[in-house]
Amino acid sequence: MMPSPHIFFVQPVLPEKLKPLRDLAASLYWPRYPETAALFRDLDPDLWEETGHNSELLLRLLPAARLTAVAGDPQYTGRLEQVWQQYRTYLGAPVNRGNLPGLESNQVIAYFSAEFGLSEALPIYAGGLGFLAGDHLKSASDLGLPLVGVGLLYREGYFRQRLDRRGQQREVYSRNDFYQLPLELERRADGSPLEVQVNFPDPDRQVRARVWRARVGRLNLYLLDSDCPGNLEADRLITDRLYGGDLEKRIQQEILLGIGGVRALAALGINATIFHLNEGHSAFLGLERIRQLQARYGLDLASARELATCSNIFTTHTPVPAGIDVFPPYLMDKYFTEYYQSLGLSRHEFLALGRQDPNNQQEPFNMAVLALRLSAWANGVSQLHGQTARRMWQVIWPGVPVAEIPIGAITNGVHTTSWVGEKMAALYDRYLGTAWREDPASPASWAGVAGIPARELWQVHEEQRRELLAFARRRLAAQLREWGAGPREIAALEGVLDPGALTIGFARRFAAYKRPALLLRNPERLARILGDSRRPVQIIYAGKAHPRDEEGKELIRQITAFTREEAFRGRLIFLEDYGLQVARHLVQGVDLWLGNPRRPLEASSTSGMKAVLNGALHASTLDGWWAEAWTPDTGWAIGSGAVYEDTGYQDAVEGEALYNLLEKEIVPLFYERDAGGLPAAWVEMMKRSIRAYGPVFNTHRMVAEYSRQFYEPAAHLYQRLQAGNQERLKELAGWRSRVRDWWPAVRIEGVEDDREGDLIVGGSLKVRARVFLGSLQPEDVTVELYYGPVDAGGEIVTGEKETMIQYQDQGEGRYLYSGVIPCRRGGRQGYNLRVLPRHADQVHPYQSGLILWG
Ligand SMILES: *Cc1c(COP(=O)(O)O)cnc(C)c1O
């Protein structure tokens, strides 16, 4: 066998005039990225496609003669010069730390995610979670937030989908060569690769990971890769696939992401103080932060935990328990025994961090529970999902009413300029100026949509639709060639898809709750809708099923079976390999974007947001973002938003609603044409939809909300607790442990009110109470009246609260309190008393998990 070769690198030599291409190739994003991509594409359109839009690789593969020729083309070098100037201006623009006045210049927000969807050139994403993370970074760059991303660099990323003639999905993994990606290896001063290590047991070993840096506009994304020399062969494979492997592989990946990621930041000298967990995969970072804070500042466990928790933010995306990673206790023992001992935790205390019921020894270790217990700030990703998450996690805060569970909601968005098609973007530039690019979260930026001439908007939309149809035919042709089809079969594709027909897009992961086959419940009825020769309709499906999701794969087979039936031929098609490229063409070209998830299982969904930005109209069940976005004059709701016990019945009701909408509303509106052939009412609705949703469902708005609600207050609190010699921190930790110790003695000893018969609306009820606080002081607690209408079961449904005033100290730890309940509504009402711990430096009163009702 040949020994491994000695490796050396050859950098392409660029003519002087093309030098800026080097830096532009290394940048995965900046606001004028489409113009940059066009510059690379024009160097060699075929090679651009072949390299999967990888500009770094393209530059290496281009023959020198081609580069010399381009360098002599003044038109090209002029374009390059202009883009280069704009890029430098973007990088040099002042960073807007005004958003975070409490953050010192060396403080940083670290955003952790298992996947990032930034560009097809860096395939380390599977779907929605990754695109959300990518768009978060892009908007953070535009807004000038001091943020870094942290993730894993996978050798094979996620699979590419191939379908055989029967619609059977095959997963194809292709290997990333990191040296051909727009990545920079982080090195030490002596030039050797920077490495971080984590410990694995059995056999006792150090697992190393290298750190790669990707440039995302003004920000850096750091990616860990365990495929380094010196690691055991098995450990080199930890980062081989995104979400790949068995449970043990998962825990290894998550240890590397959470613990290795925190170590990487330290090794890079980045003083991150705010940590944002995009889903629970990275939750081990909470433990490593505690360990680091202990070591760095000589803190005890309680103080370090307090400091880490007050500056961790957890965003949950999962409305069902089955979607969360859980690890059996034996795996936790295997990987964490030494670790929790070094933190100063007992096995019971450690496992309790990941258990809903800390005392249930059988319960596995749940990453979302760990994230919730170690993050004082938490949110769901739409208003409806916030409600779902509060119900789902009520068990973590026993005794706290569901509405007060400390999980908020920040609705997802998409990065505007990354998803709007080139032609539509040019139209917006003409009529809206640059405001929609620079300040998309302001309604004023989109007001100009009203003034776009209807005919022009329609024309541009139709051009984008034609581009989609051409793309779809190319993809279908490639698929047929792969299947060994002859020229006649391929030529027949010319007749597939009608350039003027109402075009519906349905593209998403094929999971049962998304109900991809809902529209096919009644094939005859669907055939009538699609086949109407005066008002034709066509549907483009796309989507991958998780490799182990047999139900999802079966759904793909079912839909592709319909595409082969005579009644649907050319009108119903399935594009393989739903990914960034397919998604972009679809959201930019369809007339109608369709979603029909089973409420409340879709936490947010973002594909519809991408489509409406491009002028598509949206029809969906009232789930995720659509539950808060929909209004009758901007889109369509399928069904009433009810939640059903009987899912078969739900499918019947909502399937029927979908057919009715298509037949009675959507198709007629689309084909209601004026004398010039313009669907005037449809175009008016497009305008209303763009104006309503454009300013709201974008990541500029979303990141600003994260900043205001979480990053800023967390940064301030962190700073306050750290000030001086961490006096406030130690005081807070000492207070919490004192309150824990004395809480069992606290009692509500007597309650009386001044009621005589019924009260009247506008009146009030005065309540007095005697509370025994024992060794606690009145300033350690809040005593509240919790009141509101009661249901048939005698429980307060949605309560309000009034703080009671302590007005007498009776000695020996007894205090008298009084408070007043205003009677604002008639009916059967009730009240309770409750005592909660109070401290100026806690994020919320439920942080200790203590609440006493009386
Ligand atoms: C936007 C996007 C998603 C997320 O879509 P959902 O609306 O959550 O289904 C998934 N995959 C791709 C390729 C996307 O572009």
Q: Are residues 592 and 651 in the same domain?
A: yes
Query: What SS3 class is residue 188?
Result: coil
Q: Confirm whether 733 is domain-assigned.
A: no
Atom of ligand 1 nearest to the CA of 508: 9
Q: Confirm whether 151 is domain-assigned.
A: yes
What is the 127 CA–ligand 1 centroid distance (Å)? 5
Contacts for 529-536: CB closer than 8 Å, 24+ residues apart: 529/659, 529/662, 529/663, 529/667, 530/567, 530/568, 530/571, 530/572, 531/567, 531/571, 532/667, 534/671, 535/502, 535/667, 535/668, 535/670, 535/671, 536/498, 536/500, 536/501, 536/502, 536/571
pLDDT digits (tens, 9 = 90+) for 491-508: 989 889 999 999 999 999
Tell which residue, 143, 142, 151, 149, has the closest CA to residue 108: 149
Separation between Cα atoms, residue 261 and residue 264, nearest integer Å: 5
Residue owning the nearest CA to atom 15 of ligand 1 = 583
Atom of ligand 1 nearest to the CA of 606: 7
Tokens 């965003």 correspond to: 315
Q: Are residues 666 and 553 in the same domain?
A: yes
Tell which residue, 701, 670, 500, 698, has the closest CA to residue 614: 698
Q: Cβ distance 605 to 595 under 8 Å?
A: yes
Backbone angles phi, psi at 426, to 5 degrees: -65, -40
Query: How many distinct structural domains can be found in the chain?
Result: 4
What is the 590 CA–ligand 1 centroid distance (Å)? 15
CATH number at residue 788: 2.60.40
Per-residue pLDDT at 104 exceeds 70: no
Residue of 540, 580, 602, 606 to mutate, ligand 1, most atoms within 8 A of C-beta: 606
| Neighbour tally for 660: CB within 10 Å | 12
How confident is residue 9, by pLDDT bands cut at 50, 70 and 90? confident
Separation between Cα atoms, residue 261 and residue 224, nearest integer Å: 7
How confident is residue 547, by pLDDT bands cut at 50, 70 and 90? very high
List CB contacts of 563: < 8 A, sequence separation 6 or more.
569, 572, 573, 574
Separation between Cα atoms, residue 525 and residue 531, nearest integer Å: 10
732-769: b or e for each residue (b if 16 or more CB lie within 10 Å)?
bbebbeebeeebeebbbeebebeeeeebeeeeebebbb
What is the 194 CA–ligand 1 centroid distance (Å)? 34
Predicted local distance difference test score (pLDDT) of residue 101: 52
Take residue 819 and report the two structure tokens written for it.
Answer: 């408070």
Q: Are residues 655 and 715 in the same domain?
A: no
What is the 579 CA–ligand 1 centroid distance (Å)? 8
pTM for the model:
0.96
Per-residue pLDDT at 238 exceeds 60: yes
CATH number at residue 149: 3.40.50.2000
Residue of 159, 318, 508 to mutate, ligand 1, most atoms within 8 A of C-beta: 508
Q: Confirm whether 420 is domain-assigned.
A: no
The mean pLDDT of 833-842, rounded to a whole number, is 97
Atom of ligand 1 nearest to the CA of 414: 1
Q: Is 299 in the pocket of ligand 1 (CB under 6 A)?
A: no
276-298: b or e for each residue (b if 16 or more CB lie within 10 Å)?
bbbbbbbbbbbbbbbbbbbeeee
Q: Cβ distance 475 to 576 under 8 Å?
A: yes
- DSSP letter for 187, please: B
Atom of ligand 1 nearest to the CA of 128: 4
Q: Are residues 88 and 232 in the same domain?
A: no
Q: Are residues 131 and 39 in the same domain?
A: no
Cα 34–Cα 37–Cα 43 angle in degrees, nearest 5: 145
Tokens 């990323």 correspond to: 157
Residue owning the nearest CA to atom 13 of ligand 1 = 579
Residue owning the nearest CA to atom 8 of ligand 1 = 605
What is the 105 CA–ligand 1 centroid distance (Å)? 35
Single-letter code of the amino acid located at 179: Y
What is the 460 CA–ligand 1 centroid distance (Å)? 24
How confident is residue 100, by pLDDT bands cut at 50, 70 and 90? low
pLDDT digits (tens, 9 = 90+) for 605-653: 999 999 999 999 999 999 999 999 999 999 999 999 999 999 999 999 9
- DSSP letter for 431, please: H
Q: Confirm whether 787 is domain-assigned.
A: yes
Q: Confirm whether 355 is domain-assigned.
A: yes
| Neighbour tally for 669: CB within 10 Å | 16
List CB contacts of 301: < 8 A, sequence separation 6 or more.
290, 294, 343, 344, 345
Separation between Cα atoms, residue 134 and residue 142, nearest integer Å: 13
Atom of ligand 1 nearest to the CA of 582: 13
Tell how strand 829-837 and strand 852-853 pair up. antiparallel
List CB contacts of 360: < 8 A, sequence separation 6 or more.
none
Residue owning the nearest CA to atom 6 of ligand 1 = 605
What is the 407 CA–ligand 1 centroid distance (Å)? 24
The three-state DSSP-derived secondary structure of 561-618 is HHHCCHHHCCCEEEECCCCHHHHHHHHHHCCEEEECCCCCCCCCCCHHHHHHHCCCEE
Atom of ligand 1 nearest to the CA of 509: 9
How confident is residue 479, by pLDDT bands cut at 50, 70 and 90? very high
List CB contacts of 459: < 8 A, sequence separation 6 or more.
none
Separation between Cα atoms, residue 89 and residue 94, nearest integer Å: 10
Q: Is 588 in the pocket of ligand 1 (CB under 6 A)?
A: no
- DSSP letter for 377, please: E
What is the 593 CA–ligand 1 centroid distance (Å)? 12
pLDDT, the chain, mean: 95
Take residue 833 and report the two structure tokens written for it.
Answer: 């008393």
How confident is residue 710, by pLDDT bands cut at 50, 70 and 90? very high
Q: Cβ distance 603 to 381 under 8 Å?
A: yes
Sign of CA dihedral 357, 358, 361, 362: positive
Query: What SS3 class is residue 345?
Result: coil
Sign of CA dihedral 149, 150, 155, 160: negative
What is the 575 CA–ligand 1 centroid distance (Å)? 15
Q: What share of the chain is helix, strand, coil (3-state, %, to 5)?
A: 45, 20, 35
Q: Are residues 357 and 396 in the same domain?
A: yes
Q: Confirm whether 705 is domain-assigned.
A: no
Q: Cβ distance 561 to 168 under 8 Å?
A: no
Tell which residue, 442, 380, 376, has the closest CA to residue 411: 380
Q: Are residues 231 and 376 in the same domain?
A: yes
pLDDT digits (tens, 9 = 90+) for 768-800: 999 999 999 999 999 999 999 999 998 998 899
Q: Is 406 in the pocket of ligand 1 (CB under 6 A)?
A: no
What is the 606 CA–ligand 1 centroid distance (Å)? 6
Q: Is 286 in the pocket of ligand 1 (CB under 6 A)?
A: no
| Neighbour tally for 528: CB within 10 Å | 14
| Neighbour tally for 236: CB within 10 Å | 18
Residue owning the nearest CA to atom 4 of ligand 1 = 128
Separation between Cα atoms, residue 36 and residue 17, nearest integer Å: 15
* Most confidently predicted of 176-185, 345-354, 480-489: 345-354
Q: Are residues 688 and 749 in the same domain?
A: no
Tell me the percentage of the chain whose pLDDT exceeds 90. Answer: 90
Q: Is 418 in the pocket of ligand 1 (CB under 6 A)?
A: no
Q: Is 507 in the pocket of ligand 1 (CB under 6 A)?
A: no
Alpha helices by DSSP H, listed for 298-382, are 301-309, 329-343, 347-352, 367-373
What is the 130 CA–ligand 1 centroid distance (Å)? 9
Separation between Cα atoms, residue 276 and residue 570, nearest integer Å: 46
- Phi-psi map region of 633: left, alpha, beta (phi>0 left; psi -120 to 50 alpha): alpha
Predicted local distance difference test score (pLDDT) of residue 81: 96
Per-residue pLDDT at 828 exceeds 80: yes
Predicted local distance difference test score (pLDDT) of residue 592: 98
Q: Is 579 in the pocket of ligand 1 (CB under 6 A)?
A: yes
Q: Is 151 in the pocket of ligand 1 (CB under 6 A)?
A: no
What is the 272 CA–ligand 1 centroid distance (Å)? 30
Tell which residue, 693, 516, 685, has the closest CA to residue 595: 516
Take residue 81 and report the two structure tokens written for it.
Answer: 């010069």
Atom of ligand 1 nearest to the CA of 514: 9
Tell which residue, 127, 181, 132, 182, has the closest CA to residue 159: 127
Single-letter code of the amino acid located at 610: K
Q: Which of 697, 730, 754 is the last residue of a domain?
A: 697
Q: Is 612 in the pocket of ligand 1 (CB under 6 A)?
A: no
Q: Is 508 in the pocket of ligand 1 (CB under 6 A)?
A: yes
How confident is residue 174, by pLDDT bands cut at 50, 70 and 90? confident
Q: Is 112 in the pocket of ligand 1 (CB under 6 A)?
A: no
Q: Are residues 78 and 147 in the same domain?
A: no
Q: Is 605 in the pocket of ligand 1 (CB under 6 A)?
A: yes
Take residue 349 and report the two structure tokens written for it.
Answer: 């205390």
Q: Is 695 in the pocket of ligand 1 (CB under 6 A)?
A: no
Q: Is 128 in the pocket of ligand 1 (CB under 6 A)?
A: yes
Residue of 138, 420, 607 to mutate, ligand 1, most atoms within 8 A of C-beta: 607
Q: Confirm whether 625 is domain-assigned.
A: yes
Atom of ligand 1 nearest to the CA of 587: 15
Q: Are residues 408 and 441 in the same domain?
A: no
Per-residue pLDDT at 98 exceeds 50: no
What is the 605 CA–ligand 1 centroid distance (Å)? 7
Q: Are residues 114 and 206 in the same domain?
A: yes
Q: Is 127 in the pocket of ligand 1 (CB under 6 A)?
A: yes
Q: Confirm whether 1 is domain-assigned.
A: no
How would DSSP label each residue in 792-831?
A: TTS-BSS-EEEEPEEEEEEETTEEEEEEEEE--S-S-EEE
Q: Is 583 in the pocket of ligand 1 (CB under 6 A)?
A: yes
Q: Is 689 in the pocket of ligand 1 (CB under 6 A)?
A: no
Q: Is 606 in the pocket of ligand 1 (CB under 6 A)?
A: yes
Q: Is 454 in the pocket of ligand 1 (CB under 6 A)?
A: no
pLDDT digits (tens, 9 = 90+) for 142-163: 998 999 999 999 999 889 999 9
Take residue 205 and report the two structure tokens written for it.
Answer: 């070993």
Q: Cβ distance 667 to 409 under 8 Å?
A: no
Backbone angles phi, psi at 207, to 5 degrees: -100, 125
Q: Is 607 in the pocket of ligand 1 (CB under 6 A)?
A: yes
What is the 453 CA–ligand 1 centroid distance (Å)? 31
Q: Are residues 52 and 198 in the same domain?
A: no
Per-residue pLDDT at 421 exceeds 90: yes
Q: How many residues does the chain have?
A: 854
Residue of 116, 125, 131 to mutate, ligand 1, most atoms within 8 A of C-beta: 131
State the residue range of the domain holding 72: 16-92
Single-letter code of the amino acid located at 289: R
The mean pLDDT of 391-397, rounded to a whole number, is 97
Q: Is 161 in the pocket of ligand 1 (CB under 6 A)?
A: no
